Amino acid sequence: MRTALIGYGLGGAAFHAPFLSSSPDLELTAVVTGNADRAAEVAARYPGAEVVPSVEEVWARAGEFDLVVVTTPNRFHAGHARTALEHGLNAVVDKPFAGSAAEARELAGLAASRGLLLAPFHNRRWDGDFRTVARLVGDGALGAVHRFESRFERWRPEPKDGWKESGDPADLGSIVYDLGTHLVDQAVALFGRPTRVYAEVRALRRGVRAHDDAFLALTHPSGAVSHLWASALAAAPGPRFRVLGDRAAYVKDGMDPQEEALKAGAVPGGPGWGEEPAERWGLLGDTRVPTEPGAYQEFYAAVAAGRAPVPVADAITGLEVVEAAFESARTGDAIPLPG
């Protein structure tokens, strides 16, 4: 599949280009960036890819591509995805998939009407620690799960300039749209669509108008609850996962190693890819449990085979949860989420 990668910030450079260039069934044909330094990096690292200065050129040359990967700033995700579909191109769309659930439903309808692949990029389903949780839950090792705790907590007390710190709602800069969408997606993947959402969402750091701290509580049809934390101001982060069942519990600290490896320029998918050393394995009761290898490459393997690795319906549910979370934070009430 001849692929145009739209955007070459952290997402494009670390989470997309390495996989597009290393998959045997995908071709990194073009990278869109107007930044001279990023263009030079693309030329050095991916000499077979053309650097395209504007997304309009991709649309004008749509017949030269099969797939578009959208990894632009959040406010442009839905618009670029819509234009790609209108030009007959399959699309992978970084999170947040859209700015609203209604917008996401429109994209899903457009893709279906054109017979095109539309894939939300929720790559964190292929984190090794999450794959381990999914296996333990699926195998019944924990018994009936009654609480799922999941955290993306960081200590970044000094904000950086940029759209992610903007208070403009159109920028979708809230930590709920950023890290929160991953947390919600993992909970939905494990336990299904929630029936109720409660949330506390705040902007804590001095001078920051975008939310940088959030807690969401989701109630699932089974009665299990997901407690989800995302924060840029956690000087003492909690465990990445704590999963409580009526038979056992699983606790895991630390982050999946794939992101740091990708930032360091590692080529994905080789021997030892995504593996954790034994000292970082989580605990099932008092027993160390080997962490499943992280496998981000499986996302693009599915795309190359013509399948959406993450159902669009799950991304729509995730955005409905996000909208309910903002309403809950505003009102202080738990918000029902109709089926």
CA-to-CA distance for 127 and 296, rounded, in angstroms?
7
Residue 297 CA to residue 262 CA, distance in Å, equals 12
Q: Give me the residue label for tokens 């442009």.
A: 76
Instruction: Give the global pTM.
Output: 0.95
What pLDDT is stored for residue 224 in this prediction?
Answer: 98
List pLDDT tens digits, range 215-253: 999 999 999 999 999 999 999 999 999 999 999 999 999
For residue 14, pLDDT over 90 is answered with yes
Q: What is the torsional sign of CA 29, 105, 98, 149?
A: negative
Share of the chain above pLDDT 70, in %: 100
Strand order of the β-sheet with 2-6 is: 50-52, 27-32, 2-6, 67-70, 90-94, 118-121
* pLDDT given for residue 12 in this prediction: 96
Domains and CATH numbers, the chain: 2-121 (3.40.50.720), 124-295+309-336 (3.30.360.10)
Question: Which one-letter amino acid corresponds to residue 139?
Answer: D
Q: What is the pLDDT of residues 121-168, one digit of tens each?
A: 999 999 999 999 999 999 999 999 999 999 999 999 998 877 787 778
Residue 83, pLDDT above cutoff 90: yes
Extract the tokens encoding 312: 């669009």
pLDDT tens sequence across 43-76: 999 999 999 999 999 999 999 999 999 999 999 9
Mean pLDDT computed over 271-288 = 96
- pLDDT number for residue 85: 98
* Residue owning tokens 């095109």: 116
pLDDT exceeds 90 at position 18: yes
- As a whole number, mean pLDDT of residues 188-198 equals 98
Query: Collapsing DSSP states into helix, strand and coil, what is residue 313?
Result: helix
Alpha-carbon span 327 to 259, nearest angstrom: 32
**Exposed/middle/buried for residue 255 (C-beta within 10 Å: 0-12, 13-18, 19+):** middle
* 201-222 tens-digit pLDDT: 999 998 888 999 999 999 999 9
Strands (E), 122-172: 145-153
pLDDT of residue 331: 98
Q: Which one is predicted more confidently, 280 or 166?
A: 280
Task: Give me the DSSP letters along 226-294.
Answer: EEEEEESB-SS---SEEEEESS-EEEE-S--SHHHHHHTTPPTTSTTTT---GGG-EEETTEEEPPPPP
Q: What band does 169 get if pLDDT is binned at 50, 70 and 90?
A: confident
CA angle 320, 208, 165 (to 5 degrees): 60
Q: What is the mean pLDDT of the chain?
A: 96
Biggest CA–CA distance in the chain, Å, is 59
291-318 per-position pLDDT tens digit: 999 999 999 999 999 999 999 999 999 9
Tell me the average pLDDT across 86-100.
97
| Amino acid 160: pLDDT | 83
Return the amino acid letter for 117.
L
CA–CA gap between residue 197 and residue 168 (Å, rounded): 24
Looking at residue 84, its pLDDT comes to 98
So what's the pLDDT on residue 168?
Answer: 84
pLDDT in tens, 23-42: 999 999 999 999 999 999 99
Inter-residue contact 129 to 291 (CB < 8 Å): yes
pLDDT, position 164? 80
- Quote the pLDDT of residue 102: 97
Beta strands 249-252; 196-202: pairing state: unpaired
**Who contacts 148 (Cβ-Cβ below 8 Å, separation ≥6)?**
133, 187, 190, 191, 224, 225, 226, 227, 241, 243, 244
Yes or no: say if 222 and 174 are a contact pair by the CB < 8 Å rule: no
Predicted local distance difference test score (pLDDT) of residue 280: 97
pLDDT value at position 207? 83
pLDDT over 90 (residue 270): no
Q: Are 175 and 211 in contact (CB under 8 A)?
A: yes
Q: What does the alpha-carbon distance between residue 81 and residue 97 come to, in Å, rounded to a whole number?
A: 9
